[in-house]
Amino acid sequence: MKKISVVLCTYNRAQSLRDALNSAAALVLPDSVDWEILVVDNNSSDQTRNVVEEFCGRYPNRFRYIFESHQGKSRALNAGICEARGHIVAFMDDDVTVDPDWLQNLTAGLHDGHWAGAGGRVVPEWTCSPPRWLSKESPYAVGPLVAFDPKCQAPELDEPPIGANMAFRREMFEKYGGFRPDLGPCPGSEIRGEDSEFGARLLKHGERLRYEPSALIHHPVQQSRLEKGYFLTWWFDKARSEIRVSGIEPGTKYFIAGVPLYLFRRLAVWTFRWLLAVEPGRRFSNKLSAWTNAGEILECFRQSATTRKRAQNPALEEGARRAIS
């Protein structure tokens, strides 16, 4: 019997969670597949538990409720993986809706061991027109508004899928570990990238990931996200995540306070372009580039300061190593 577990992590989104679970309840899979939905409540204070328990009662043995008190997206994801019974572990978010054949299409190619994982298409659902400073086709819109459609010529992905729509054979977590707890939203930090880092880790080790555009998920474009402040914060924190994962450019020689000199130069260039631009879309795009550089600078500075502290106190180094592992 083929077994699939879907892990859905949630925090204080009871209203959108209900819509997500309703769509998950309508999933259609062959009788030869045993599947379950694990909802990991990451210490919510709203009606999340009541919503999940309602589905557990309506669909016995299909939905399970898991409580993870240690807040942080990666902690919740790893808790779900530990509780999953499936040979394949899939992931969806608490603010999406899935097509009835989503799970079947996403996981169909993972049962024979040829593929390590798969990613599906995520389509933004617009309920309003974008503001003048944002184009739907802008590369800066893809991340904050949650979209994934790489237009692959072949079924094989050369980039990681995103957490709203991905699946992996369980052995991948046993072989390469779980999601990094220093990445992913948590109290006091909106740094993301826990999903893409895991996919990139597999690709780095030569594992093959499949793109399945027919595994379709719909993600609403929320009005609260169509604010300049949200975009600026998202890309600022995205840049910090990239530094944590990939570090600085190889061969860098010159630093100021632990920050590569080239980052200051880039910040100056993009700030200058931002100030000179007139067209709203171009002006904001340049500003986002400047904010991205600022995020890289901040993370480099903080990492440099942390490294100095650890060198002075070996106990801090050991604590950091345990936190990441």
Secondary structure class of 77 (helix, strand, coil) = helix
Counted residue by residue, the chain has a size of 325
Question: What pLDDT is recorded for position 143?
Answer: 84
Question: What pLDDT is recorded for position 152?
Answer: 67
Segments of the chain scoring below 70 in pLDDT: 152-154, 314-325
Q: Please report how the helices 280-312 and 228-246 are oriented relative to each other, as an axis angle in degrees rounded to 10.
A: 40
CATH number, span 2-223: 3.90.550.10
DSSP character string of 233-290: HHHHHHHHHHHHHH-SPTT---EETTEEHHHHHHHHHHHHHHHH--SHHHHHHHHHHH
Question: What pLDDT is recorded for position 314?
Answer: 61
Q: Residue ranges of the domains in the chain?
A: 2-223, 228-324
| Structure-block tokens of residue 127 | 């309920």
| Number of DSSP helices (H) and strands (E) in the chain, helices first | 11, 10
| Structure-block tokens of residue 32 | 């030869």
Question: What pLDDT is recorded for position 322?
Answer: 54
**What pTM value is reported for the model?**
0.89
DSSP letter (8 states) at residue 29: -
11: left (phi over 0), alpha (psi -120 to 50) or beta: beta
C-alpha 33/C-alpha 11 separation (Å) is 29
| Structure-block tokens of residue 3 | 């077994």
**Residue at token pair 């609403």:** 220
Q: Report the 10 Å Cβ neighbour count for 280.
A: 12
Question: What pLDDT is recorded for position 318?
Answer: 54
pLDDT, tens digit (0-9, with 9 covering 90-100), for 243-296: 999 999 988 999 999 999 999 999 999 999 999 999 988 999 999 999 999 999
Question: What pLDDT is recorded for position 309?
Answer: 80
* 313-318 contact pairs (CB < 8 A, 24+): none
C-alpha 33/C-alpha 165 separation (Å) is 19
| Structure-block tokens of residue 142 | 């893809």
**Partners of 168 in beta bridges:** 89, 117
Secondary structure class of 191 (helix, strand, coil) = coil
Q: Alpha-carbon Rg of the chain, whole angstroms? A: 21
pLDDT, tens digit (0-9, with 9 covering 90-100), for 219-237: 999 888 899 999 999 999 9
Q: Report the 10 Å Cβ neighbour count for 222.
A: 15
Angle at CA of residue 240, ends 177 and 11, nearest 5°: 65
